[in-house]
């Protein structure tokens, strides 16, 4: 698979399910493919925490890692495929491959990911 090289490539993604979040971890983009794959409506997610699409048992770990990244600016999970679950709107948890990139723009971090369901 050809993985995106920049946050902008993910923001422009039309085929792979993709999301983006700001430096506060709030969702700023949910593409059509993500909505179709996981049943969420864009209006359900925009402005909400990225943890909304995570199973509850993963949220604390995410928050710790997110805080560590913002403090150190050293990524441990970015720019490599990660097998992680996704919480669908109907409550199902499905396995997916996440590919996360982070980029600092105008002094603030932007996070974007493709989240491709495992078939």
110 CB-contact burial (10 Å; exposed 0-12 / middle 13-18 / buried 19+): buried
Structure tokens at 115: 């989240």
Predicted pLDDT at 117: 95
Residue stretches of the chain with pLDDT short of 50: none
Predicted pLDDT at 39: 98
Please tell me the pTM assigned to this model: 0.93
Predicted pLDDT at 1: 73
C-alpha gyration radius of the chain: 13
């Amino acid at each position: 698979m050809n993985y995106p090289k920049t946050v902008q490539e993910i923001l422009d993604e039309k085929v792979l399910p993709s999301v983006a979040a700001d430096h506060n971890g709030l969702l700023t983009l949910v593409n059509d493919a993500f909505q179709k794959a996981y049943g969420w409506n864009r209006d359900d997610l925009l402005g909400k925490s990225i943890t909304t699409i995570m199973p509850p048992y993963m949220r604390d770990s995410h928050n710790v890692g997110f805080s560590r990244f913002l403090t150190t600016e050293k990524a441990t999970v970015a720019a490599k495929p990660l097998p992680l679950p996704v919480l669908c709107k109907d409550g199902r948890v499905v396995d997916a491959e996440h590919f996360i990139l982070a980029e600092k723009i105008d002094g603030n971090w932007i996070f974007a990911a493709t989240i491709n369901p495992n078939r």
